[in-house]
Structure 1
Amino acid sequence: MRRIAVTASIAVALCTGGAVAFGLWVPSLPPLPRLDALPHSVEVVDREGRLLRPYATGDGRWRLKAAVADVDPRYLDMLIAYEDRRFRSHRGVDPLALTRAAWQWLAHREIVSGASTITMQVARLLEPRMERTLGAKLRQIVRAVELERSLSKDDILSLYLSLAPYGGNLEGARAASLAYFGKEPKRLSRAESALLVALPQSPEARRPDRSPQRARSARDRVLDRVAPAIGIPADEIAAAKAEIVPALRRAMPAFAPHAADQTVAAAPDAGIHELTIDARLQRAFEALARERSAALGAGISVAILAVDHASGEVLARVASADYFDANRAGQVDLTRALRSPGSALKPFIYGLAFEDGLAHPETLIDDRPARYGNYAPENFDLTFQGTVSVRKALQLSLNVPAVALLDRVGAARLTARLAQAGGGMVFPKGEVPGLAMGLGGVGVTLADLTMLYCGLARQGTTMALVERRSELPLARPPRRLLDPVAAAYVGQVLLGTPPPENAARNRIAFKTGTSYGYRDAWAVGFDGRRTIGVWVGRPDGAPVPGILGRTAAAPILFDAFARTGELPAPLPPAPKGAILAANGKLPPPLRRFNPDGLAGQNAERVRIMFPPNGARLELALAGGRPEPVALKISGGVAPLTVLVNGVPQERGSGRTIFFAPQGPGFVRLTVVDGKGTADSVMVRLQ
């Protein structure tokens, strides 16, 4: 009895002295690390918040933030049942577990069981220490109480889910789930949940990629222990134990790597970067690019860009066939590389011709040998079709009609219009816009070309492409490309272009292009919802004998539309003012295209004398409506047809013709005489 009393006295003295020392020691502890300053992996996510690409921390660790809502609830139940059954009720320290651990320490003079709660484990993760001493345990207790005072239970769980070690450089449940299971931890099987519970206890010894048998044994022990606590049926436990433990570690996701690299470089201090890209489309198109580039041959790459016309948001950007393939220069962004577009610019030549009243889709045009100074364009197959409709000339991508129209429209004007719409054309050093640009004698990027085709789909206006969601409120207003009627004509013509073999007709409006020397193959198309552009070629610009837009790029374009998982949306109906008629029902000047615009050898070309191009006219009002505006004309042969924004207004023989404006705004005025001579001006009514 005396010995027990002495022991009790010593214990009381130790407790009293310890309490005094503890009370003096606690205030000397430094403050907890700032939770908002903890380094985490930078994440690039898609429009729905799905992970596209994470980046390792500065010390090479994969540490992805995770919240309670980011993981499977069954995994959380299993974690709490195994690690800290009274987690929801204690204040950071479990008195029962702590008392048990203390008696074990007094009896054995060493720590037998740690009695660590989840909160105490978080405290240890925030202040890593290698030693397992009483002082370290006391520090964890103090920190756990501090955490419980300042954070909610879910916040503490989120810290554990973000910081717990899982072997190697993996920290947090999301990083572990991506590396071992290839998926986010929102939906986990029983076996996967148990493995994630077991790993942090001994992360290096139980790593599945190095010690799969140890990992399996640890997983099965977790299953046996938590089964009665959370009521898992025996058959589910047996099925979970039969599940194979992953023996390989997967690479972290790296979707849209070029877009991810560029957005992180633009804002290096941000922790999460949100893109407009759709992860589902991005994955599908990256797989498509890899498949097709491998089939096309060594060194050939593929780039694909998909855009929502309504907003200009980039939905997918595959900038190379394989980011990690050095043989294909995978890290070169081929959506922003300058390349020759071949015939892919022809729709815009036709659009300006439609806008100026020089032609209509049903206008007849000659495909015959022609010469412009020293330049004599030829068709790709070195043959001529004779007289064809403008519709057929564009659908068959005939060169001679396109050059004839460009000669009338003007290469400089085409260049200025494309630049006005946001499409930068780059000419060889010392070169100026000329007729050759209609067949690809200019440089353009896939991004700019796709944006211009979006303008056709939007019936005449372009939107700046947007890839970062932070830039959406700052998106520029629409820019003018073509009049709505002209853009609609082009869209309807391209909708009838013969599709690749085995593809459905009249679903996608598209155009192909092949650059000189077989260096670049293009296909750009749109439906009523999306525009997709495809480029195929070698990143170094070397020729690829036999590569053609129609056979190399167009099948990829149609496959990309198919992989969206949706049927192509119909194009919008033609706007008011469109002439839907056969050739014989067209106004006489639009029935046949006259390449020189002259009625006879000595005839004078028709000219608009007033108003001059670029003029600003004040509208006079009568009865609340704008009064007619006079158009003064010289030259040409009667009858004269006036077109306002491509819509025929009046035919007459006088030299002063009046038209009724609809109101303020920009107006394209065109006069066509009886032999096809035309002149056009742009004025602003105010």
Structure 2
Amino acid sequence: MALPGGMAALALLGGGLLALDRAFPPDLSRLEAVGRVVVDREGRVLSALPAPGGVWRLPVGAAEVPGHLVAMLVAAEDRRFRWHFGVDPLAVMRAAAQWVRAGRVVSGGSTLSMQAARLLEPRPRTLRSKAIEALRAVQLEWRLGKQGVLGAWLTLAPMGGNLEGVRAGSLAWFGRPVERVGVAEAALLVAVPRRPEALRPDRHPEAALAARDAMLRRRGAGALPEWERLAAAAEPVPRTRRAMPGLAPHVSREVARGQAAPVVRTTLDAGLQRGLEALAAEVLRGLPARASAAVVVAELGSREVRALVAGDWLAEGRAGALDLSRAVRSPGSALKPLLYAMAFERGLAGPGTVMEDLPRRFGDWAPENYARGFSGRVTAADALRQSLNLPAVALMDALGPLRFASALKALGAVPRLPPGAPAALPLALGGVGVTLRELAGVTAAIGDGGRAGRLRVRPGPAEAAGPPASAPVLGPRAAEAVAGILVQPFPGGGPEGVGWKTGTSWGGRDAWAVGFDARHVAGVWVGRPDGTAIPGATGRGLALPVLARVFGLLPAAPRPGAVAARVAAGGPAGTVDGLRLLFPPAGAVIGEGSVVIRAAGGQRPLFFLVDGVPVASGAARREAGWTPPGPGFYRVTVLDAAGAAVSAPVRVRGPE
């Protein structure tokens, strides 16, 4: 069926326009060559990253800016924007009539769509350029729609200097996201693009003020009530350009890399990140030349990183551009908690097991303690707390280095060994390469009941780091036993209820401290990025004080039952408040067979444990029956409802 003549002509015209549009598409490269805005978990700006060439061109959509800004823009630049097709015939006729009468250009008749076309493809201000802009405006409306055209203008409008778009302008002139600008600020953002260099508020504040106030007085400017217009006019204009936000520079570049989204979200908390960066800056001022530090804080359950300092970003002498939280270094003794937890899990030892810290050879290797001395017979709990090397190597020998290396991999810390070297006993003392993020993830497993999971800086589903749940890397009972051992006061003071462990690599090249409370895991690394030693550096001396201050920045979250867990693991009991362990007494030697543990005093109910394992008590909750599984050393503990605890080491002798 043939189309009527008029419809056929329209169809032919439409087809021709479509062919021309495809043959000569508008150049949208400037709209695509934009920087990125990196925000925290609540949408607060962390960092702005410039577009190629160092231009602050940050993308923004019309729906992201306040309605009064868009209303003011349309009222000032293109009142009929909502109904024309890219070119406003009435404005063109008015401009032509003014040109004929005055003999010069009085008004250009440009629509917002034509302005967007000019911003995308700048040209000399000639009649030919105007004609091209008109055609491009129609194309932009066809391709992008009204909202897309507004977004192009809002992204590309010049704001003075190397600032483009209202997002960059808002951050530079007001220090706040464009989503939160008020009426007076919106008026300035709409006014400046008319003469961006002449109206820069940092260089020409009086001219900027006059232009802003003229925008506020413009008829129909956002349909402002008079009182709001007067209040806006009373506000001053900024006289300085603010620095672009630059929190978490390493993480910001990490998450923005390869991302097409204009706004990139992270798991970080802007307030905590700001506090951690201030703390790190203070710490760095006290470090030797060329030394640096990295700190990470994450939620224990979700493994979401809440703050991360990966080095001194602006310090070339400290290799500030390197992400030191991902640098592979030797952890020293910081992996010993995992070793002990695995040994407890497999029954190789328990917190109260007596071990020997005495000179011993393992093949051709004779390991020593850091202080060169030996402590003799100690419990496993004390050996871990004191970071003794001989007991740790003995446990590694019994456990097997391959099994330990496999557990590290399952927990997200792929062990880096020297080329061609197998997993061997030195793994117990840090003979492997890990990163700060990985070490914090391993430590999180100790504080989170043995659950594996990698730290992450992007929101989304948790990243599993181990085998399926049917084959856990570490059982909760063993993890809790080690956690209880590690909960102890910071030497120089600090928050209570925090478990921590330090590490020092060979020669003082790396100083570490990792810790956890009931909600968080944190890690600190101090060293030189080039791997050279810091004479006298230790994890306890350099990194641990920083860790204590890190936990001081966090909301208090002491581990539940920290005192009880510490005592059950062989630690000091603290004040006893009348609670007494009647039998067995400390140091008792008892025979095999059933034993009745008796206690008096304290606040009921009482709870009984042997080597951290609960023992069923009688109806009166003053005694409990226990049958030793065999000869050996044990620690008997009684706890009351107020948290007081008493413990006693005992020995069960075997058959004569």
Q: Normalized against structure 1, the TM-score is what?
A: 0.71
Match for residue 323 of structure 2? 333
Q: Distance in 2 between matches of 1:420 and 1:155?
A: 47
- CA offsets, 1:179-220, max 9 Å, x none? 333332122244432321121101233334554454344334
Q: Distance in 1 between matches of 2:226 and 2:395?
A: 76
Counterpart check, 1:355 vs 2:345:
yes
Q: Distance in 2 between matches of 1:433 and 1:293?
A: 35
Deviation at 1:59, TM superposition (A): 5.1
Counterpart check, 1:107 vs 2:101:
yes
Match for 2:181: what amino acid?
Answer: L
Mapping of residues 156-175 of structure 1, within 5 Å: 156-175=149-168
Q: Distance in 2 between matches of 1:424 and 1:475?
A: 10
Match for 2:199: what amino acid?
Answer: R
Per the alignment, do residues 516 and 27 of structure 1 end up closer, same or farther by CA in structure 2, a change over 3 Å counting? closer
Q: Which runs of 5+ in 1 are unaligned?
A: 1-21, 593-636, 654-672, 677-686
Q: Distance in 2 between matches of 1:284 and 1:69?
A: 32
Counterpart check, 1:119 vs 2:113:
yes
Match for residue 638 of structure 2? none
Q: Distance in 1 between matches of 2:208 and 2:145?
A: 32
Report the secondary structure of 2:502's partner residue. Answer: strand
Q: Distance in 2 between matches of 1:492 and 1:33?
A: 66
Report the secondary structure of 1:517's partner residue. Answer: helix
Q: Distance in 2 between matches of 1:474 and 1:511?
A: 24
Q: Distance in 2 between matches of 1:176 and 1:504?
A: 43
Q: Distance in 2 between matches of 1:27 and 1:402?
A: 76
- CA offsets, 1:581-627, max 9 Å, x none? 99999xx9xx99xxxxxxxxxxxxxxxxxxxxxxxxxxxxxxxxxxx
Match for residue 568 of structure 1? 557
Which of the residues 506, 520, 525 maps onto 2:510?
520
Mapping of residues 249-268 of structure 1, within 5 Å: 250=243, 252-263=244-255, 267=258
- The answer to whether the 8 Å contact 1:420/1:480 transfers is no
Q: Distance in 2 between matches of 1:639 and 1:249?
A: 77
Deviation at 1:72, TM superposition (A): 3.3
Match for residue 481 of structure 2? 489
Report the secondary structure of 2:295's partner residue. Answer: strand
Which of the residues 530, 533, 554 maps onto 2:544?
554
Mapping of residues 430-469 of structure 1, within 5 Å: 432-469=422-459
Match for residue 404 of structure 2? 414
Q: Distance in 1 between matches of 2:123 and 2:17?
A: 17
Q: Distance in 1 between matches of 2:495 and 2:306?
A: 24
Q: Distance in 1 between matches of 2:557 and 2:169?
A: 39
Mapping of residues 217-232 of structure 1, within 5 Å: 217-225=210-218, 230-232=224-226
Deviation at 1:161, TM superposition (A): 0.9
Deviation at 1:78, TM superposition (A): 3.3
Match for 2:158: what amino acid?
Answer: P
- The answer to whether the 8 Å contact 2:453/2:463 transfers is no
Q: Distance in 1 between matches of 2:440 and 2:318?
A: 23
- The answer to whether the 8 Å contact 1:338/1:443 transfers is yes
Q: Distance in 1 between matches of 2:64 and 2:85?
A: 24
Q: Distance in 2 between matches of 1:652 and 1:554?
A: 39
Which of the residues 284, 297, 315 maps onto 1:293?
284
- The answer to whether the 8 Å contact 1:216/1:245 transfers is no
Deviation at 1:452, TM superposition (A): 1.0
Mapping of residues 593-632 of structure 1, within 5 Å: none
Quick check: 479-488 or 57-66, which moved more?
57-66
Q: Distance in 1 between matches of 2:530 and 2:514?
A: 22
Q: Which runs of 5+ in 2 are unaligned?
A: 1-12, 574-579, 595-609, 616-625, 631-650
Deviation at 1:489, TM superposition (A): 0.4
Report the secondary structure of 1:512's partner residue. Answer: strand
Q: Distance in 2 between matches of 1:142 and 1:237?
A: 38
Per the alignment, do residues 474 and 272 of structure 1 end up closer, same or farther by CA in structure 2, a change over 3 Å counting? farther
Q: Distance in 1 between matches of 2:417 and 2:143?
A: 63
- The answer to whether the 8 Å contact 1:371/1:377 transfers is yes
- The answer to whether the 8 Å contact 1:421/1:480 transfers is no
Deviation at 1:390, TM superposition (A): 3.2
Counterpart check, 1:181 vs 2:174:
yes
- The answer to whether the 8 Å contact 1:300/1:328 transfers is yes
Match for 1:111: what amino acid?
Answer: V
- CA offsets, 1:268-310, max 9 Å, x none? 7776655444444444333332221123243221112233343
Deviation at 1:425, TM superposition (A): 2.9
Report the secondary structure of 1:513's partner residue. Answer: strand
- The answer to whether the 8 Å contact 1:466/1:475 transfers is no
Deviation at 1:332, TM superposition (A): 2.0
Q: Distance in 1 between matches of 2:593 and 2:405?
A: 32
Mapping of residues 41-80 of structure 1, within 5 Å: 41-43=34-36, 44-58=38-52, 60-80=54-74
Which of the residues 335, 342, 348 maps onto 1:345?
335
Deviation at 1:433, TM superposition (A): 4.6
Report the secondary structure of 1:302's partner residue. Answer: strand
Q: Distance in 1 between matches of 2:140 and 2:122?
A: 16
Match for 2:447: what amino acid?
Answer: A
- The answer to whether the 8 Å contact 2:33/2:52 transfers is no
Match for 1:567: what amino acid?
Answer: A
Which of the residues 112, 124, 135 maps onto 1:130?
124
Per the alignment, do residues 28 and 352 of structure 1 end up closer, same or farther by CA in structure 2, a change over 3 Å counting? closer
| Percent of aligned pairs with the same amino acid | 43
Per the alignment, do residues 105 and 475 of structure 1 end up closer, same or farther by CA in structure 2, a change over 3 Å counting? farther
- CA offsets, 1:396-448, max 9 Å, x none? 33344434444443444433432343323334456555544433333322122
- The answer to whether the 8 Å contact 1:340/1:440 transfers is yes
> Number of residues paired by the alignment?
582
Counterpart check, 1:215 vs 2:204:
no
Q: Distance in 2 between matches of 1:276 and 1:216?
A: 39
Report the secondary structure of 1:340's partner residue. Answer: coil
Q: Distance in 1 between matches of 2:315 and 2:73?
A: 41
Deviation at 1:482, TM superposition (A): 1.9
Match for 2:178: what amino acid?
Answer: P
- The answer to whether the 8 Å contact 1:306/1:317 transfers is yes
- The answer to whether the 8 Å contact 2:360/2:367 transfers is yes
Match for 1:109: what amino acid?
Answer: G
Q: Distance in 2 between matches of 1:366 and 1:386?
A: 6
Match for 1:502: what amino acid?
Answer: G
Per the alignment, do residues 425 and 69 of structure 1 end up closer, same or farther by CA in structure 2, a change over 3 Å counting? same
Quick check: 175-184 or 413-422, which moved more?
413-422
- The answer to whether the 8 Å contact 2:510/2:527 transfers is yes
Deviation at 1:650, TM superposition (A): 8.7
Report the secondary structure of 1:534's partner residue. Answer: strand
- CA offsets, 1:237-257, max 9 Å, x none? 4531x34422x352x444444
Alignment RMSD: 4.6
Match for residue 33 of structure 1? 26
- The answer to whether the 8 Å contact 2:75/2:220 transfers is no
Counterpart check, 1:192 vs 2:182:
no
Counterpart check, 1:83 vs 2:77:
yes
Per the alignment, do residues 462 and 470 of structure 1 end up closer, same or farther by CA in structure 2, a change over 3 Å counting? closer
Per the alignment, do residues 226 and 306 of structure 1 end up closer, same or farther by CA in structure 2, a change over 3 Å counting? farther
Report the secondary structure of 1:79's partner residue. Answer: helix
Per the alignment, do residues 29 and 230 of structure 1 end up closer, same or farther by CA in structure 2, a change over 3 Å counting? farther
Which of the residues 494, 497, 502 maps onto 1:503?
494
Per the alignment, do residues 100 and 343 of structure 1 end up closer, same or farther by CA in structure 2, a change over 3 Å counting? same
Deviation at 1:77, TM superposition (A): 3.7
Q: Distance in 1 between matches of 2:72 and 2:289?
A: 50
